[in-house]
Amino acid sequence: MSKSLARVRQALLDAGLPDTTMEAGEARTAEQAARACGCEIDQIVKSIIFAGAGSGGVRLFLTAGGNRVDAAKASALAGEALTRADGQLVRTATGFAIGGVSPLGHLSPTPTWIDPRLMEFAIVWAAAGTPRHVFSIAPGQLMSLCHATCAEFVE
């Protein structure tokens, strides 16, 4: 088992939740993950990492699979201009590679916002640390575990 997947599993267990991780096959994109999970595309949680232009710190935006993050809205929430983080920064800050970034199990705390669209579902699915693994969770639990703020930041 990869270290990344193990961190996500442990984060679920530490929160008193069941380990709902599963191998989904190829799930690098929201479309692939939705097919693998048999759910609507908006039930897929995309973990989008941005870097602060001034601070260099990372920010996490959890958005529904069919939505795109609006950089200007995200920057306003973060209080500084944001740019998309490159693969090296994503891996260094979160411990995950792009395509498998989980909202849980990051190496260090990350300021996080969650798309209100995700809150409309009983269950959502997110990457579990690899491009082939996902986990299911109630969106309210996800918001709580990530210490996320529910806010409008999509196009």
The CATH number linked to 91 is 3.90.960.10
Task: Name the H helices within 1-138.
Answer: 3-14, 30-37, 71-78, 87-94
80 domain-assigned? yes
Domain extent at residue 39: 3-150
Tens digits of per-residue pLDDT, 37-61? 999 999 999 999 999 998 889 999 9
Q: What Rg, from alpha-carbon coordinates, does the chain have?
A: 14
Residue 155 inside a domain? The answer is no
What pLDDT was estimated at residue 70? 97
122 within a domain of the structure (yes/no): yes
**Strand pairing report for 22-23 and 133-137:** antiparallel
Give dist(CA 62, CA 44) in Å, integer: 10
Q: How many CB atoms lie within 10 A of CB 109?
A: 9
Whole-model pTM: value is 0.94
The verdict on residue 29 lying in a domain is: yes
| pLDDT level of residue 25 (50, 70, 90 thresholds) | confident
Number of Cβ within a 10 Å radius of residue 107: 12
Residues β-bridged to residue 133: 23
Residue 65 lies in a domain: yes
> 70-95, pLDDT tens digit by residue?
999 999 999 999 999 999 999 999 99
pLDDT value for 27: 85
Q: Indicate whether 95 belongs to any domain.
A: yes
Number of domains into which the chain is organized: 1
Spatial contact of 148 and 113, defined as CB atoms under 8 Å apart: yes
Residue type, 38: G
Residue 145 included in any domain: yes
